[in-house]
């Protein structure tokens, strides 16, 4: 029954709706569960800043020995469609019923954290102070961690449980991201009567994009045109197009170069057509690079090996709260929480991975 308890907790958690900026009900449940385990729970004011119905939760469990505070983090929100989740177990794997995501991203990590503490209590394991940081609005912008009350954190290292793949994966490198918003302005004209009097914003966009280096730029850098909107009617030369794009890299010089390339291409082509362009670039988050010989990586490796698993040290092309923690002076790595096919209706979690993740958290605390 103890082995099944983490499954029961996970099944309960994923059935509590918590789409981005609507994490309130789940936060209330977590607060009750954490306090029942002896945690002191603090809610910051990030919710007011980002428009969520709750803030981030920072939960602290006092230890019984003098040791460095160990910190873990997961996000409480899920992507859509994430309301009314109905989990189904097939062949020791947990799925949704196919109409929603499952919510293992990131409730697998949350369930594992609380169940690890339950085992600590049951087995009377000595430990230092433990802090859990449960963020809001991670999906789509990392807004919770960007607005976290960092003055309440007691440690300077954090294990983020929010990566996919096999348990035992340690993500030590992640890219910075630039969001590139573009408005291309041409000149309207009747497409059938006097098209030569117009300047097509769509034609400018097409020419500019066809002259850009996109997708995989190098081993550290990617770029993408994500969204294009514009146009009035088929008989009107298009006067305006808006484009949403991005560039990412773990090497800031490469990111700056790629972003500049994209901006300059839009500007050059627009000018050549007699049109104009407005471009706004926003650095969404910075990169993080944790060297493999750093203490936090060494601790993760030891804990993973204690479970009989060979650690996998890798990098990611995605952003997570790990980026923001590192940017705020907290050494953080992202550990796999066993997420499989996240953000899809095929998302699933292996029950064995849930148990392994719980045991990994327990080993990290022992370390």
**Mode of pairing for the β-strands spanning 288-289 and 169-174:** antiparallel
SS3 40: strand
Would you state the structure tokens that stand for residue 353, as one six-digit string? 């991975």
90: number of Cβ within 10 Å: 8
Note the Cα 264 to chain centre separation in Å. 30
In order of 47, 230, 359, the CA distances from 4 in angstroms are 34, 53, 14
Told to judge if 77 belongs to the known catalytic residues of this protein, a careful annotator would answer yes
Q: Tell me which of 138, 162, 203, 287 is the catalytic residue.
A: 138
Q: Tell me which of 44, 77, 106, 321 is the catalytic residue.
A: 77
Distance CA 145, CA 18 (A): 17
Would you state the structure tokens that stand for residue 23, as one six-digit string? 């994490």
DSSP secondary structure letters along 271-327: HHHT-EEEEEEEEEE--EE--TTSHHHHHHHHHHHHTT---EEEE-SS--HHHHHHH
C-alpha closest to that of 266 among 228, 294, 318:
228
C-alpha closest to that of 190 among 149, 159, 150, 235:
235
Would you state the structure tokens that stand for residue 20, as one six-digit string? 């981005």
Decide: 300 and 186 in contact? Cβ < 8 Å: no
Q: Which residue has the tokens 């090996």?
A: 305
C-alpha closest to that of 150 among 350, 321, 16, 312:
321
Q: Which residue has the tokens 């998302």?
A: 347
Distance CA 127, CA 360 (A): 15
75 is in an annotated binding site: no
Q: Which residue has the tokens 């990131």?
A: 106
Phi, psi (5° rounding) for residue 125? -85, 125
Phi, psi (5° rounding) for residue 191? -70, -20
Q: Which residue numbers belong to the known binding site for Zn(2+)? A: 343
Q: Mind telling me the catalytic residues?
A: 77, 138
Residue numbering of the annotated binding site: 343
């Amino acid at each position: 029954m103890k082995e099944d308890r983490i499954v029961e907790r996970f099944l309960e958690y994923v059935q509590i709706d918590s789409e981005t900026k609507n994490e309130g009900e789940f936060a209330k449940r977590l607060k009750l569960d954490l306090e029942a385990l002896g945690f002191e729970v603090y809610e910051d004011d990030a919710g007011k800043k980002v428009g969520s119905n709750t803030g981030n939760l920072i939960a602290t469990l006092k230890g019984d020995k003098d040791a460095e505070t160990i910190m873990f983090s997961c996000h409480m929100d899920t992507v859509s469609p994430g309301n009314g989740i109905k989990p189904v177990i097939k062949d020791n794997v947990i799925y949704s019923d196919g109409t929603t995501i499952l919510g293992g991203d990131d409730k697998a990590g949350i369930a594992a954290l609380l169940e690890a503490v339950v085992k600590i209590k049951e087995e009377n394991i000595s430990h230092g102070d433990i802090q859990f940081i449960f963020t809001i609005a991670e999906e789509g912008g990392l807004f919770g961690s960007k607005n976290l009350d960092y003055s309440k954190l007691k440690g300077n290292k954090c294990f983020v449980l929010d990566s996919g793949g096999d348990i035992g994966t340690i993500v030590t490198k992640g890219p910075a991201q630039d969001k590139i918003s573009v408005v291309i302005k041409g000149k309207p004209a009747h497409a059938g009567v006097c098209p030569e009097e117009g300047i097509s914003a769509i034609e400018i966009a097409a020419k500019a994009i066809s002259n850009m280096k996109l997708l995989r730029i190098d081993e550290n850098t990617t770029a993408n045109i994500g969204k294009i909107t514009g146009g009035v009617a088929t008989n009107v030369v298009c006067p305006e197009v808006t484009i949403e794009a991005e560039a990412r890299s773990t090497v800031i010089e490469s990111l700056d170069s790629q972003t500049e390339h994209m901006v300059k291409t839009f500007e050059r082509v627009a000018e050549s057509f007699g049109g104009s362009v407005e471009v706004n670039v926003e650095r969404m988050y910075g990169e993080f690079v944790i060297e493999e010989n750093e203490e936090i990586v060494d601790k993760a490796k030891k804990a993973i090996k204690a479970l009989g698993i060979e650690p996998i040290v890798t990098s990611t092309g995605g952003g997570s709260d790990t980026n923001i923690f590192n940017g705020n002076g907290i050494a953080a790595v992202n550990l796999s929480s066993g997420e499989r096919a996240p953000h899809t209706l095929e998302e699933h979690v292996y029950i064995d991975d849930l148990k392994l993740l719980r045991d990994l958290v327990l080993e990290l605390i022992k370390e």
